[in-house]
Chains A and B, each alone.
Chain A
């Protein structure tokens, strides 16, 4: 097992290296001359050249890539072009809201979607199944900001049940923190819930046809026990896979959700960075999210062995 974890960790290295190469090329290809930007409007060509040399911008691509990579490994993501701050501290400042949003969405989505899929599979062909599957199609088709605006309009503006916008840090209490995150999390989670529910239903349909399910029913086990213990455990691998892969959807959607609900997280940071063409910040965020995504999927591979003892490495 430990050997497998190490092996699996090793395989993520080339993947992350390719991500890093891509992200570095982004800065390399970015229009505009950082040296000229730093030198200011009044600078002469000689001065710009001097700054370029001092920054090492005149050296070959591959040399700069390895130097940049070495800094990244040490946790140095560079300096923002517009705010006089290292990218790392800018990200650190904004990470809590985004992380909170992602975690709450993830938990809510799993808690809602998995039972939905199980019930749809159990009641396959009935109106319950149809309603859930209709949601599965709609949830997948309605873009995140549409859901976000509709939810905010109905539950915050019209009914006034939940706050319209904003974010309360976790340090000021778990209640206010959660209340502020409910609407964004549901909006962001819709696509994800649809995806998980569809996959759960599909795999559960297959599992429910197995002999051991019939045996369990024949010996009189309670239905919830059969569905959620016997069947779900055997259907878990594809479900866990889709939960892991779907994180990419969540990360993309978080950028938009944060804009709609005015949450000061990494999504807002990304949007601001794009509008200002602050390449080091864009780089940092893309690199961080990709890293998280790769790690999550590594974790998914490890969870396989926990939910399904037949898988051994």
Chain B
């Protein structure tokens, strides 16, 4: 640690602005402990860069700038807000009130320092870090400055690791979204050219994140003229007869709100009943889209989780004739309006490849272009793992990243799960938070045990929509060479490649790395 501290001290933050130095002295008069804190900060090459009395209640707000090496290790690019509160009984609401006050300085909103005479502060702060979306680190008040400096760094590591940022099961967008630049560019271009797009992939490959990110980027480029309406079809009613009426109602409502916000005509939409027919919705949208106020606007509707509407029985039953009517209405709107388009996402290609849907001619048949979401590239996987790790002061050695990629093949969900498992075992000592190949290797066995159920269920889910593909996959695992199977079942092998279950290496077809982790690939011993 001493060597590490010496390295930090060699490149210190130096505050020379006389005005700021005056405010820091005033902080030290109001809260004498701040003088000790300054000594502690000096040991880690850091210092106050801002201080001001915060209201008339004795509270002070300051900003601490960490040494550049520490900023890199903690993934920070601005200062950390440090509060000095005189309260002997500090409450969460007091801290929240302090947070709500705005300073004229940039600072991070996920990590705070706090100094308070409250003897129960440690217990309270530990609870807040669990329940609130930010971490609070108590500035140490005892010991030698050097020991306090070490303690501070360890506490910072501990607090930023309380919530492992690799653990993420909900869809991500913006800075949380990694890679797939080429796919996004192709999708945006296709949408601009008026092609309906289908985004397909297995469970947990990041389809929803991709579609949401597509929407974000699409709108961001020209926010005042672009409207993106995202509909998650998983919330549709369980009664098949009520699904289309509910979906039509949801589209009408969301379109009304979004069009109004974009300054478009909404008159026809506002006159629709709560549950309009497909025809009524089509006419209302048509009127709004062709109105002069809409000419420079572009509207995209995204239907996520299409399986909730178009099931595997779509070709064998006539249960939901309204589905074809609904998709037909969307198709005619796209054909008649250059400023309107649709994105469909899900596991199943069926909405685009079946000649019929529920006994009717399929309006989407061979009309839309399918895009497949598979694994991330090595570069994108590395970037994701490194960037997320930096948020909890975790660094990755190249060999560790290579092993992680070799095992997961860049499957985004599995790569994050493995990274979470590995990083959760690291020491909180800041100089020991670099993941090595040995760290990854040591966690592999227990990680596979805890993950194999999820991997198996990803493959099991294929049976509903890709039964033949799954059968061929199983035949391949059982020993029939995939190259032989390709001669007999070229379409199915093509789908297995598109879905990322197989890959072509040196002219041979083989399983992708993550599929080798499933228990299908390891024969069960019980029979």
Bound pair: A and B?
Answer: no
Name A residues whose Cβ lies closer than 8 Å to a Cβ of B: none
